[in-house]
Structure formats: C-alpha cells, structure tokens
C-alpha cells in the first residue's frame, strides 16, 4: 500500500462540490475502412468534475503559453478508472467568461500528480 492510495477519492470528496460538471470526449479508435485506409470510430463522452481557469501573465510569459489557451482542472476520481485525459481529447467546461456557458476545448497538453487526483489541462 502506498501513501498516495486513496488521495484521488479524497480530493473528489473534499473538492467535488467546488468544481463544475463537465465532460471529457475521447475520440474513437481508428478502424480499417475496407479500402486500405482508416476511419475513426465513434467518440466516447465521460462526465467529470472540472474547473476552468486562466493562466497568470507571469506563467504565460515564462512558459510561452498563448493568450488564447485556458487551463482546465479535472478531478481524476470523477473519471472512470483507466480514463486519463490526453492530447487530442476534448474537454467541455462551463466558461465563467461566457456566463458559465459550456464551452468545448481541444486538449493541447496535460500535467498531473502521482496520485492522479488532479489533472491540469492546457486547452485551446
């Protein structure tokens, strides 16, 4: 047993009410089209708990993050086991700048913690 066991579930229990309801869209797998090429299967949508924020000006300048990118925080335990956000996925989150209107973003990059309690997504 590790010291990080259960941290993700505790984070969801403690902070779940502070996060909004969002959705992670994972594109479908590539499947043969029968003509030598591929097509993409249907996407899967997973509800999750999200919080949309902006990067600080200091962080944008230091890391070279474009002004159009946003940061989306996702509670790891709000996703089904084995589902991890990644580049190429889409995240839908209520946008405070648009009166909490659900807005869909492309995931550009992901960072997280060893316990998978919180994923930080750079979204565009």
pLDDT of residue 31: 87
The residue to which tokens 């009410």 are assigned = 17
CA pair distance 49, 77, nearest whole angstrom: 9
Does the domain formed by 7-123 have CATH 2.40.10.270? yes
Q: Among candidates 76, 74, 85, 71, which has minimal Cα distance to 10?
A: 76
pLDDT digits (tens, 9 = 90+) for 64-121: 999 999 999 999 999 999 999 999 999 999 999 899 999 999 999 999 888 899 999 9
pLDDT of residue 51: 96
pLDDT of residue 32: 87
Q: What ranges in the chain are assigned the alpha helix state H? A: 7-15, 57-63
Model confidence band, residue 6 (pLDDT cutoffs 50, 70, 90)? confident
Alpha-carbon dihedral of residues 32, 33, 34, 37, nearest 10 degrees? -80
Judge whether residue 1 has pLDDT over 80: no
């Amino acid at each position: 047993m590790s010291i990080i066991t259960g941290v993700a579930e505790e984070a969801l229990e403690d902070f779940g009410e502070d996060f909004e309801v969002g959705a992670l869209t994972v594109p479908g797998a590539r499947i043969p089209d029968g003509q030598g090429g591929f097509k993409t299967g249907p996407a899967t949508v997973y509800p999750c708990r999200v919080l949309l924020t902006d990067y600080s000006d200091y962080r944008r300048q230091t890391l070279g993050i474009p002004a159009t990118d946003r940061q989306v925080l996702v509670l790891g335990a709000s996703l089904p086991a084995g589902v991890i956000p990644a580049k190429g996925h889409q995240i839908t989150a209520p946008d405070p700048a648009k009166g909490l209107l659900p807005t869909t973003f492309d995931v550009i990059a992901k960072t997280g913690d060893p316990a998978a309690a919180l994923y930080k997504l750079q979204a565009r």
